[in-house]
Structure 1
Amino acid sequence: MTVDRMTGAVAIVTGGGTGIGAAVVRRLAARGVHCVINYASSKDDAEALAAEVGQGAIAVQADIVEDSACRALAKTAAEAFGRIDFLVNNAGRTKFANHEDLDALDAEDFIDIYRLNTIAPFQMIRGCADALRASDMGAVVNVASVAGEFGIGSSVAYAVSKGALATMTKSLARVLAPAIRVNAVAPGYVGTGWFEKRLGEEGFAKLNERIASRVPMGFATSPDDIAAPIEMLLDPVSRVITGEILVLDAGSHLDVGMSRRPGHEH
């Protein structure tokens, strides 16, 4: 019987209590990975998820905008499990603003979004780097967005932050090789609980139907649809992959008219 190499590994997932992050935690825990579920404010969700998945999972509060919090989170993980093998930089934020409205954003909006979407992942990688180097399968996956790939999405500031995250992924993949692989995924629309809470069950179902009718693959992407490729990129069998930005949008980028469609960001 072949033992899964990921069994016993340790992963930190930022923003891990809900949405894509929670789906990643569930997949990794099913592989025997011990997960450190980071949250900023979703304490109940994160703690419930840790209890659900088992494998020694722990929920840890940290506002990763602060570098000291990133270092403390990495230290907590290392002290709890003795190692860190995987890091998933999933936490993010946006502000909704029409791209055409140049007065809808100010400098503080850009800085606020950039600090969590771009600087925080850098700080998390730096804080975990020594432990990841010590692993024989150290890997990072950053959750970027099609917004950063194509200059679309909820706002110009959000698109810029995710574009910078994609560039950083390539830069750090170069300098951290061969010890640590660094990749990113760039989701399009993802049907998370965020939409359901704001639209209600019926409105959420209608949104998913509308999205499904507009993408080549004919379905609305779920959090697990994003978590599966993240799991794949972390898996040591993917050792040949680093510095890649994997677009996960059910083929929407194949449509030249996508820039006029709403909802193309995670």
Structure 2
Amino acid sequence: MSKSGLCAIVTGSASGLGAATAGFWAKEGARIVVNYSNSQKEAEATAEACRKAGAAEVVVVRGDVSRDEDCRKIVAAAARWGRLDVLVNNAGITKHVPHHDLDGLSAEDFQRIYAVNTIGPYQMIRAARSLLEAAAKMSGRPAAVVNVSSVAAISGASSSVAYSASKGALNAMTLPLARALAPSIRVNTICPDYIDTPWFTKARGETSARQVRDAVVARVPLKIVSTAEDVAQLVCFLASPASSNMTGECVRIDAGMHLIL
């Protein structure tokens, strides 16, 4: 469905899923806030790609979603539009620690991961609430929040215990927020499995990333690996009027990995 006139914030959109999501909406003439915390060069490249694709306006804002003042700064960049149709809470971090290595994660590690992956989305929703409600009033349909979680929230298999726990908390938070913010704002969450993005390659190295990619393809029932563009289509669906009767859902996208016994 046409998203012309759409106003959106995508956190963590310098690359990967966030960049792919912004790119989809750019083709429809959307106004987009591209957010990053460290990767300014990549964020500027994403913004330029969005402009070339046809975005009506693109604003690049640096901000760490674990900091409430930064969340308010990111949202303030969209205030010029007087509305916010979509907020995508995509920013996330992890620390790679084998689950059996209980000494590999400190309290500080847990606090930092929770601060970005769980508290960050809450703070972004709180900061954006008035603009989301304004969009709902203007359009006559609910605005949309899409949280990016992980199958790790369900399976517990992930880069670290802290990461799984933070995403599980994000899933749990989806329900009370969906209740509290209806009928003006819908809140849904996606739970992707492995996504073939540069983020994973940077974390694990090219050789290890290729091994994981090949193993995923060999194992999952659909014999495919998800790209950022694949998952971005689900984000865009949950943000669009096509899903206007959905809220409080956690939608898994894993090429059938959960079907394996």
With normalisation by structure 2, the TM-score equals 0.92
Report 1:202-241 matches (<5 A).
204-241=209-246
State the shift of 1:38 in Å: 0.5
Aligned to 1:25: 22
State the shift of 1:205 in Å: 4.1
What is the CA deviation profile of residues 118-164 of structure 1, one whole-angstrom value per residue up to 9, with x for unaligned ones? 00100000000011011124100000011111222111110000000
- 1:236, 1:190 → 2: CA distance? 26
Report 1:78-97 matches (<5 A).
78-79=79-80, 81-97=81-97
Instruction: Confirm whether residue 199 of structure 1 aligns to residue 205 of structure 2.
Output: yes
Question: Is the CA contact 1:117–1:165 (under 8 Å) kept in the aligned structure 2?
Answer: yes
- 2:195, 2:111 → 1: CA distance? 25
- The number of residue pairs the alignment matches comes to 251
Aligned to 1:73: 74
Structure 1: runs of 5 or more not aligned:
257-266
Report 1:140-219 matches (<5 A).
140-197=145-202, 198-200=204-206, 204-219=209-224
Question: Is the CA contact 1:47–1:58 (under 8 Å) kept in the aligned structure 2?
Answer: no
State the shift of 1:181 in Å: 0.3
Instruction: Confirm whether residue 34 of structure 1 aligns to residue 47 of structure 2.
Output: no
Aligned to 2:59: 58
State the shift of 1:209 in Å: 2.2
- 2:120, 2:201 → 1: CA distance? 27
What is the CA deviation profile of residues 183-219 of structure 1, one whole-angstrom value per residue up to 9, with x for unaligned ones? 000011111112334533x664443222101101101
Aligned to 1:264: none
* Structure 1 counterpart of 2:118, one-letter code: T
* Structure 2 counterpart of 1:138, one-letter code: A
State the shift of 1:95 in Å: 0.9
For 2:196, what is the secondary structure of its paired residue?
Answer: coil
Percent identity between the aligned chains?
Answer: 45
Question: Is the CA contact 2:59–2:77 (under 8 Å) kept in the aligned structure 1?
Answer: no
- 2:214, 2:194 → 1: CA distance? 12
* Structure 2 counterpart of 1:82, one-letter code: G
- 1:61, 1:107 → 2: CA distance? 27
- 1:190, 1:242 → 2: CA distance? 24
State the shift of 1:36 in Å: 0.4
What is the CA deviation profile of residues 54-84 of structure 1, one whole-angstrom value per residue up to 9, with x for unaligned ones? 11112111112110111111112112x2321
- 1:158, 1:206 → 2: CA distance? 22
For 1:83, what is the secondary structure of its paired residue?
Answer: coil
With normalisation by structure 1, the TM-score equals 0.90
State the shift of 1:51 in Å: 1.1
Aligned to 2:259: 254
Alignment root-mean-square deviation, CA: 1.4
For 1:57, what is the secondary structure of its paired residue?
Answer: strand
Deviates more, 1:189-198 or 1:47-56: 189-198
Aligned to 1:260: none
Question: Is the CA contact 1:12–1:35 (under 8 Å) kept in the aligned structure 2?
Answer: yes
- 1:195, 1:247 → 2: CA distance? 19
State the shift of 1:179 in Å: 0.2
- 1:139, 1:159 → 2: CA distance? 25
